[in-house]
Amino acid sequence: MSPPSFSFTPIFLISLAVQKAEEALSLWATKDMGKMLGGDEEKDPDAAKKEEERQEALRQQEEERKAKYAKMEAEREVMRQGIRDKYGIKKKEEKEAEAQAALEANAEGSLTRPKKAIPPGCGDEEEEEEESILDTVIKYLPGPLQDMFKK
């Protein structure tokens, strides 16, 4: 008598391995691992209340943090102002305001007109030149297109 020969198909072997793995997992798995693997979660009746309390605590911490840094910045500004007063340094804003006032004062009493910001020949052209360029382009267009542009 020969021992019976069994022929196992690969699918049968895979399903058998999966069953054994599930059995082993169920022996040592905890509830938390089941949740991580996509199992059913337990519904906490106070979950909404806890979440609201957590959000409120976060808002309160954020407000305290902002107040703390605002206080620190105010102390720094007092220290900066003391240094400015001691050495006669002006803030950038004060310097810019004085420079703007000086420019306006010079422009009021000046007999000449203020200089242009754009030098001549850099886009500050008269309309006549633009029209002459447009006329030049229209000259090279076919007759029907020239009529359309002239209208």
Task: Report which of residues 96 and 119 the model is more confident about.
Answer: 96
Task: Report which of residues 127 and 16 the model is more confident about.
Answer: 16
**Once rounded to an integer, what is the mean pLDDT over residues 54-76?**
96
The pLDDT, as a whole number, for residue 45 is 76
The pLDDT, as a whole number, for residue 86 is 93
The pLDDT, as a whole number, for residue 59 is 96
**Once rounded to an integer, what is the mean pLDDT over residues 53-68?**
96
Rg (CA), the chain: 42
Instruction: Match 């340094």 to its residue by tokens.
Output: 89
Tokens coding 24 = 């082993």
| Contact of 121 with 110, CB cutoff 8 Å | no
pLDDT exceeds cutoff 60 at 119? yes
Q: Is 138 exposed, middle or buried, given 0-12, 13-18 or 19+ CB atoms closer than 10 A?
A: middle
113 to 6, 103, 106, 110, 116: CA distances (angstroms): 108, 13, 11, 7, 9
In whole numbers, what is the pLDDT of the chain averaged over residues?
77
Task: Report which of residues 100 and 85 the model is more confident about.
Answer: 85
What confidence tens digit (pLDDT) does each residue in 1-41 have? 555 565 656 777 677 778 777 776 666 656 566 666 665 56
The pLDDT, as a whole number, for residue 130 is 56
Report for 58-72, 109-123, 136-150: range of highest mean pLDDT: 58-72
Minimal CA–CA distance to 134: which of 150, 117, 147, 122? 150
| Contact of 138 with 150, CB cutoff 8 Å | yes
pLDDT exceeds cutoff 90 at 63? yes
